Amino acid sequence: MALRNIAIIAHVDHGKTTLVDQLLKQSGTFRENQKVAERVLDSNDLEKERGITILAKATSVVWKDTRINIVDTPGHADFGGEVERILSMVDGAIVLVDAAEGPMPQTKFVVGKALKVGLRPIVAINKIDRPDARADEVLNEVFDLFASLDATDEQLDFQTLYGSGRDGWMNVEPEGPKDEGLAPLLDMVLEHVPAPQTIDGPFRMIGTILEADNFLGRIITGRIESGTLKANQSVKVLGQDGHLIENGRVSKILAFRGIERQAVDQAEAGDIVAIAGLTKGTVADTFCDPSVSEALTAQPIDPPTVTMTFIVNDSPLAGTEGTKLTSRVIRDRLLKEAEGNVALKIEESQEKDSFHVSGRGELQLAVLIETMRREGFEIAVSRPRVVMLKDETGQPLEPVEEITIDVDEEHSGAVVQKMSERKADMIELRPSGGNRVRLVFHAPTRGLIGYQSELLTDTRGTAVMNRLFHEYQPYKGEIGGRVNGVILANEAGEAVGYALFNLEDRGPMVIDPGEKVYEGMIVGIHNRDNDLEVNVLKGKKLTNMRASGKDEAIKLTPPIRMTLERALAWIQDDELVEVTPKTIRLRKRYLDPHERKRFERGKLASAG
C-alpha cells in the first residue's frame, strides 16, 4: 500500500486535535455506531482538563488505497522538544491557522522548524465560520511569515485550503462547497506530499517517541529509514556517537491503524511503527540491523531555558498524604521522564536529597509536577530560575523570549509599562481588529516568571499572551521582584477562624480555618515588605462573665487560592512550594526562625 507521512502543526487552540477527529470519522476509521470521545488523541488526563496537547501522538487513515500516517503535535513552545523530533519522521505538514487570530508565535516556531528540514507545508485556514474571520489578511500574514523564515520559492508556492475542522469541511474556496467534507484536504495530501524517501540497505530507524506499557515494557516509535523489520528480528541500538548501547530482539511491531495500534508481522521502510522488546534504547538512538555500524544523525534540540530544584519533602506534614517520598523513588521517576522527554535535563544537586530539573518553561515543569503528584509523590520545589550561559569573554548571557500580547486598546498602556519594568524591548505595535492591538516584545525569561496572572489582573482578563524562545543575549541587569513579605505560622496545629479574622488587617490569607499548619509555613501575604510571624491557633478567650452584646459570627474574607503555576511564580528564592497529592502549601526553605536568620546573615555577608 502507498504511504504518506504528515504532521499537523499549529498554535495552541487553533484546532489540530479536532481536525484529526474529523479526519478519522470521514475516512471510515470509526464504525458508524462507535462511541468515540471528543478530541480522541488527547488521551492523557491533564490534556483533557487543560484542553491542550502535551504529548505528540500518531494515528493513520486510509484514503484511496493510500495509508496516511498523521502525527498530532503540541502547540505550546514548552513542549517544543516533542515537535522537533516529530518533524524528522514526516514528509509533509498541514499548517493550521485560525482565520481570526492569524499566525501566532507557536506557528512561527513550528513552521520555522518544518521549513528548515525542507518540508513543503499545506496551509489550512481553519475556523472560517467565526464572525471575526479575516481569511485574506491571514493568508497574507502566513505568506509574510514564510518569507521572514527564509522559505524557498517552492515552499512559498504553498497550497491553501479554507474551512472548519469542527464542522468537518475544507475547500479551496472560503465559501465552500461544504458537502465534500475533508476530501479536498486528503486529496491534496496525496497530490502534494511526496512518498517517504528511503535509503537502500538493512533495517535502520531513529527513536522519536518513548513510552512505557505495563505489558510490553518500553515502546519506541519512529520511522523506518531503510530495510524491512520482522517480528522477533535481532537488532542492536547505537547511541548518537555510534557506540553500542544494547543488542536485543524486537518482540512486537505495532503499526498505527486508526486510533488503535495493531501488531503486525512485518514493516517496510517509510512506515511509522512502534517496537517493543528493547530495554535500554531511547529517543534519538538508532535501532538497526546487527550488520550496521554507523548511527543515523538525529535532529538537534534547542537547550532548556528554565531550571527548578526538586527537594525531598521534609515538612512536619510529610508522608501524611503521599506514598512516594524518598529521594531514590523521586530520582528514578525524574530519570524515567528525562528518557522520553529530550527537552528535560536532570542533574543531582550538591545538597542532599535534591535534583535540578531544567526544561523549556514553567508550564512544562508544572505539568511534570502535576503528573507526579497524581501518581502519589510528595515533593518540595523551588522558584524557577533561568539557565544562564557565558560568552567568550566570560560575560553572562540570559535567555530572551519573543512575547506577543493581544489586548484591548484601553489596557495597552498598562501592559507596555509593566513590560518595560521587566526590561523588555518593544518590537512591534499594530492593530489586530475589534479595538484590540498586538504588542510584540523581546523580554528576558527572568522577568516573565509570574507575569501571566499580573497581566490578566491589569487587563481584566482580556489579554492573551504567547511566548517563544528567541535567543541568548547579554545579561540585562536586575529586575524588581515581589514587593510584599509573607505572614508565617509560628506553631504547629490547626488554624482557627478567630485568629485568621484578627489577622485580616495585616494582609490577605492563603489558608482556610481548620487547615493544618506548621512553624515556617506561609499562611498569608503581608501588606508590608517584611515577613511577619503570627499565631494562627489562638482561639477566643472564654470567661464565665455574660457579655452584654451577643457574639457576632465572624465573617472571613475568602483566602487567595494558589494554583501550582501561580505558587511557583509567586514564591521568592528562600521559599518553597510543598506539593502533595491533595494539597499545595507554601513554606520557607528553612522552617526554624534561627536557621532563617543564619541564612540571611550568610547571604548578606557573601553579597558584601
Q: Which three cell numbers stand for residue 567?
A: 505558587
Asked if 324 contacts 244 with a C-beta cutoff of 8 angstroms, the reply is: no
Residue 140's identity, in one-letter code, is N
Q: Which three cell numbers stand for residue 583?
A: 494539597
H-helix segments, 100-152: 105-116, 135-148
Residue 336 CA, chain-centre distance (Å), reads 17
The CA distance from 419 to 22, in Å, is 41
Annotated binding site: 13-18, 126-129
Helix axes 16-26, 183-192, angle to 10 degrees: 100
Residue 137's identity, in one-letter code, is E
Residue 417's identity, in one-letter code, is Q
Number of Cα atoms under 13 Å in the Cβ half of residue 34: 14
Annotated binding site for GTP: 13-18, 126-129
The CA distance from 318 to 312, in Å, is 9
The dihedral built from the CA positions of residue 165, 170, 175 and 176, taken in this order, carries a sign that is: negative
Opening angle at CA 201, ends 198 and 207, nearest 5: 60
Opening angle at CA 431, ends 429 and 433, nearest 5: 155
In terms of Cβ atoms closer than 10 Å to its own Cβ (0-12, 13-18, 19+), residue 70 is buried
- Residue tagged 555577608 (cell numbers): 605
The CA distance from 524 to 504, in Å, is 9
Beta strands in 11-91 (DSSP E): 57-63, 66-72
The CA distance from 465 to 448, in Å, is 11
The CA distance from 8 to 408, in Å, is 31
Residue 183 CA, chain-centre distance (Å), reads 32
Residue 455 CA, chain-centre distance (Å), reads 20
Helix axes 105-116, 135-148, angle to 10 degrees: 50
The CA distance from 481 to 477, in Å, is 13
Residue 339's identity, in one-letter code, is E
**Three-state secondary structure of 376-430:** CECEEECCCEECCEECCCCCEEEEEEEEEEEEEHHHHHHHHHHHHHCCCEEEEEE
Beta-bridge partner residues of 67: 3, 62
Backbone Cα Rg of the chain? 27
